[in-house]
Amino acid sequence: MLKQNDKITYTATGYANAETVGEVDGYTVFVGGMIVGETATVKVTYVKKNVAYADVVEILTPSPMRVNPTCRHFGKCGGCTLMHMDYAEQLKFKQNKVAGNIKKLAKLDVDVLPCVPSNLVFGYRNKLSLPVAGRVGNAKIGMYQRGSHVVVNMDDCLLGGSWSTKLTQIFRDYLNQNNIPPYNEKTFTGVVRHLVARYVDEQLLVTIVSNGEFNFDLKPLVTELKKVFPTFGLFVNVNTYKNNVILGKITRHVYGISQIMGEHFGVKFCLEPDSFFQVNNGVKDAIYQKAKDLLNVANTDVLIDCFSGIGILTTALASERYQTYALEIVPSAVADANKMVELNNTPRVTNVCGDVNVELPKLTQELKGKTITMVVDPPRKGLGENICNTILQADVDNIVYISCDSATLARDLAMLSTKYTIAYVEPYDMFPNTDNVETLVWLTK
């Protein structure tokens, strides 16, 4: 019988998300930081019925795919979970994760292509949201430990690269030198909750998330940022909610540029602090190119982009060959999407403000007889039963589903596969060194 603090010999026989799984004395044991095939001495941290969790004490038989983690925070910080694997093994892990979730959760046997690699394994993130903790004069800024809300103090995140290192150092010094209290999420006291930043094409947007009005002088921060970042904008977001949501509803522009202007994949865009934009520029463009290729293969007459946001994906996929409709429920996002139409001169794009469950049936009824391809790129929670039913009833011809969570993707595919064939599944490594994976799925009626 396993007990907490027992030290046992464990062999990893499979993966379960970022952790390995194996059997010991009738218990299913989960251990992180290992590679399938490795044997280790592990220490049991938690036991319930026939399931146990453990931490590595010593690797006894290392895998040939094991590498020394590049980051000194690995194992403490919860941001990276696969840095102990060489990159080829990371890609294999992600291909198997997508295939495993679809088989286990959707009960479907489909061919999953190899995971498309990222051109950058480090320094690829154009956005970071870092929690702030600690006390006055000793602020901690970094990432949470895995499975907790304990902040690992760090300023050299390898995923963000040099821009994030410099910014974090400047911001921590600013908080400490000006005696600005970090937020305490247990007592709901303190001021600064998060540092949120996006860096695209050498333009930086910095947002201070404050627990109420921010009444401290920002001039010292502006002065230091000017020394390092020629083009930047500074914002304060007010968030008094007693929950884990990062941004509140009120954002105030304080200094510098108010938006990032750029052009990727032939699309001119404007990004504000809360605009959705994929975090890995190179992989984003690869996914968009694949989606565009599939639209051409399908001989699309009409494209409908659901959950279109500010319209970046819509514009990337729009063509003079077919009419494009973009459905989005948030009015401010639709207003930004209309600006995108003007900026990119895409007259065959129509932005519709409304609920997909209401607007999609209307559109498909009006467009009956045309070949309709629908694109969905939902948040991590996926589509869900209501929207899947709406899609099934709308009877579109083809679906491009871009997912950032293969578990919710699998749940949705189980419903959509009652009417559609899953013709193509390809993972993309949007998030190297982590266990997260982006997936593109092509469904045909």
Please report the DSSP string for 114-179 in residue order.
PPBPPS-SSS-BSEEEEEEEEETTEEEEEEEBTTS--EEE-S--TTT-HHHHHHHHHHHHHHHHTT
Kindly list the distances between the CA atom of residue 387 and the CA atoms of 16, 347, 355, 393, 415, in Å, as whole numbers in the listed order.
Answer: 28, 28, 10, 10, 10
CA angle 354, 360, 363 (to 5 degrees): 105
427 φ, ψ to 5°?
-80, 155
Q: Mind telling me the catalytic residues?
A: 404
Q: Tokens 């990119």 — which residue?
A: 344
Amino acid at 193: R
> In the numeric block, which tokens belong to residue 210?
């404050």
Element (H, E) at 343: helix 331-344
User: Are the CB atoms for 195 and 246 separated by under 8 Å?
Assistant: no
Q: How far apart are the C-alpha atoms of 139 and 108, rounded to whole Å?
A: 49
CA dihedral 91, 96, 97, 100 (to 10 degrees): 170
